[in-house]
Each structure stands twice: as C-alpha cells, then as structure tokens.
Amino acid sequence: ILPKKVTIIEVGPRDGLQNEKVFVPTDQKRAFIHALKQAGFKEMELASFVSPKWVPQMVDAEEIIESCADFKTRNFVLVPNEKGVQRLYASKANAVAVFVGTSDTFNQKNINKRTHESMVELRPIVRGLKKKGYFVRASISTAFHCPYEGKIPEEKTLSLCQTFVDFGVDELCVADTIGMATPKEVYSLFTKLKTAFPDILISAHFHDTRKMGLANVFAALQAGIDRFDSSAGGLGGCPFAPGASGNVATEDVVYMLERMGISTGIDLHKLSDSLDIIRPFLSRPLDSAYINIIEKG
Ligand code: HMG
Ligand code: MG
C-alpha cells in the first residue's frame, strides 16, 4: 500500500549548490531559498558548516541561516565535527544533519577520517545536540555503492544505521551517493531498514547519475518510505564522490507523486519560479524532464 502523502526535503540549496565551482552570490542563494519556501517545502537542507577550504561554496552558511531564521520550517545544516557544532550553536538553525560514509575510503576523502573515527567523534556530538533539543538526522553516504570500494554489503549499512539509532538520532537518511543503486537493491535495503527501525524516521536520498532516481523513489515507496530528499532542477553532487551527478529532480518527483494521487504539498509553478532565480548563476544546465517539457512549450 502506497502512502497518501509524502514529505519532500529540498536539498538544492545544500547538495545542489555545494558542487558549483563558481561562487553563487549570497543574495541569490537567499532569494532561491525564499522562493523554495513559497513553493511549500516544510523541510530543507540550507547549508553546511564545513571547512570553506574543502567546500568554498558554503562559506556564507551563517548568513544563509540567519536570513531564514523566521521560517516555521525544519532548516537543516550539515555539520561534520565539533567546530561545525560550535558554529551551529551560534546560529538559528533548528535541525542538523551529521554525515558519514559506509566506506573508509569515501569517508576519508569526504571528511578526512575513517568511518569508525567519524563515529567515535559523532557519538558525543549527537548526544549533545539531542540534549539541546535539536532535530538530528544522520545521512549515510555510499549506502549502496562506493566509488572507491564498490558494492557495499547491506549488513554494513544496517550496522552503521544501528549505531546511529543507538546514539539517539531522529532520522536516518540513506543515500545512494553516486546514483548506482537499482530499484531491486533499494527495495531490499529499505524493507530491512523499516523492519529493523520501526520507530525512527527514514528517508531516501537518490542521485540520478544513471537515471534511476524516479524508479528508486518508487521502489522505496513500495518499501514503506514516505520521506525523500531531492533537489530542485536536479542540481547536486558531492565534490568528493567522482562520477556523482545531481540529486533526483524535485519537480520530477513531485510530478510523479501528484499524478499518482500522493500529496506532496509542493506547488510546481512556484518551484519552477525558484529555478528562474538561481539558474543564471549556475555553471551547468538544469536537469529535469519537467523543465525540459516547459521549455519546449
Ligand atoms: P580537516 O582538514 O581534517 O580538518 O578537514 P581540521 O580539523 O584539520 O581543520 C583544518 C582547517 O579547517 C582548520 O582551519 C579548521 O579550523 C578548519 P585552519 O587552521 O587551517 O585555518 N575547520 C573548519 N572550518 C569551518 N567549519 C568547520 C571546520 N572544521 C575544520 N566545521 C573537515 C575535516 C571535516 C573539516 C573537512 O573534511 C570538511 O569540511 N569536509 C566537508 C566535506 C563536505 O562538505 N562534503 C559534502 C557534504 S556530504 C554529501 O554531499 C553527501 C550527502 O549528500 C549524502 C550523499 O549523497 O551521499 C549528505
Ligand atoms: Mg547527496
């Protein structure tokens, strides 16, 4: 049985922009985010408190968060370490995403630590965040495949998720970082996750590298998932995952779900207005069927 409604977590301002090589002016990021809010998103990943040496695009994260302080929405910021936590505490973000890769090689390239070292560091961080009342999501990268280590066994991802649940996170966001998972793998892993963690929010984060994003959304829906990350315009990609392209495009996910009678609460016209704002500042074309169809008239 498919859900009647789903929550879409718009990750365009964070995953979508972090891979843009040319700096997008802060004012344009703000205007983009405000337009996305008008389109109806209740949860968004807005920025990352990471090292600006590693991800220069996120250098203005404080200003971005400040400008969204009065949103009555769940505003996520990515935080990799204690320094990120201190920046978070000084900000008005109300939700946090910690992130780790299942594979040591990817995690080392992304946050300069082995997976186990990251988990040792994150344990007190998550506890501290929960004590202060933040909503905490754990993003699990390379949950299916790693660009360096290949196929990841399900048990490895499940075990990392179990550790995060033991830490006390509110949500597991399980990611196909390089867009290599098939619907069969997606259905299998998410079915196991739902069974193992019935009391915790679970979301799916798909990159569309091999154009399996929508099929994977459908497979996850069938496994009982009702929370999806996606990025307006199909923007996105992790700078430390070679070959990763953008996230599955929000407008295509919304279109598919609404046509299936599953409510998303998102206004597609307003979503497309938000893309008009950011598009002139991007170094790559938007990538979604919805936008292509509008453009061809
Ligand atoms: P490091 O070089 O090992 O860190 O990087 P360090 O502790 O040695 O510090 C080096 C310098 O960075 C120091 O500055 C620190 O102060 C500074 P210096 O003394 O040289 O002037 N620094 C920071 N500055 C600001 N904010 C911070 C911070 N931490 C240290 N939080 C580090 C380790 C984790 C910092 C680095 O590797 C990093 O920033 N990585 C972030 C990578 C990233 O953002 N990746 C993309 C997000 S994850 C993703 O996209 C996947 C996801 O979408 C799901 C999926 O699709 O899989 C979520
Ligand atoms: Mg991603």
pLDDT at residue 62, as a whole number = 98
Q: Which of 50, 77, 98 to mutate to test the pocket of ligand 1 (most atoms within 8 A of CB)?
A: 50
pLDDT at residue 297, as a whole number = 74
Q: Which residue ranges have their beta carbon within 6 Å of ligand 1?
A: 15, 18, 48-51, 53-55, 78, 80-81, 83-84, 87, 99, 110-112, 139, 141, 175, 177, 205, 207, 238, 240
Residue 151: half-sphere exposure toward Cβ, Cα within 13 Å: 8
Ligand 1 centroid – CA 164 distance (Å): 20
**Rounded distance between C-alpha atoms, residue 245 and residue 6, angstroms:** 24
Amino acid at 64: I
pLDDT at residue 245, as a whole number = 87
| Ligand 1 atom 34, closest CA | 111
Q: Which residues of 229-256 are buried (b: 16+ CB within 10 A; e: fewer)?
A: bbbbbbbbbbbbbeebbbbbbbbbbbbb
CB atoms within 10 A of CB 124: 12
Q: Which residues of 143-152 are buried (b: 16+ CB within 10 A; e: fewer)?
A: bbbbbeeeeb
**Rounded distance between C-alpha atoms, residue 239 and residue 55, angstroms:** 8
Strands (E), the chain: 7-10, 43-48, 74-78, 95-101, 135-141, 145-146, 150-151, 171-176, 201-206, 227-230
Q: Which of 48, 51, 174 to mutate to test the pocket of ligand 1 (most atoms within 8 A of CB)?
A: 51
pLDDT by residue, tens only, the chain of 297 residues: 899 999 999 999 999 999 999 999 999 999 999 999 999 999 999 999 999 999 999 999 999 999 999 998 999 999 999 999 999 999 999 999 999 999 999 999 999 999 999 999 999 999 999 999 999 999 999 999 999 999 999 999 999 999 999 999 999 999 999 999 999 999 999 999 999 999 999 999 999 999 999 999 999 999 999 999 999 999 998 889 887 889 999 999 999 999 999 999 999 999 999 999 999 999 988 999 999 998 887
pLDDT at residue 23, as a whole number = 97
State both tokens at 40.
């109806």
pLDDT at residue 234, as a whole number = 97
What ligand has the least distance to the C-alpha of 231? 2
Ion ligand 2, residue ranges at CB < 5 A: 15
What ligand has the least distance to the C-alpha of 177? 1
- Contact predicate 107/98, CB 8 Å: no
Annotated active-site residue 173? The verdict is no
pLDDT at residue 244, as a whole number = 80
Respond yes or no on whether ipTM tops 0.90: yes
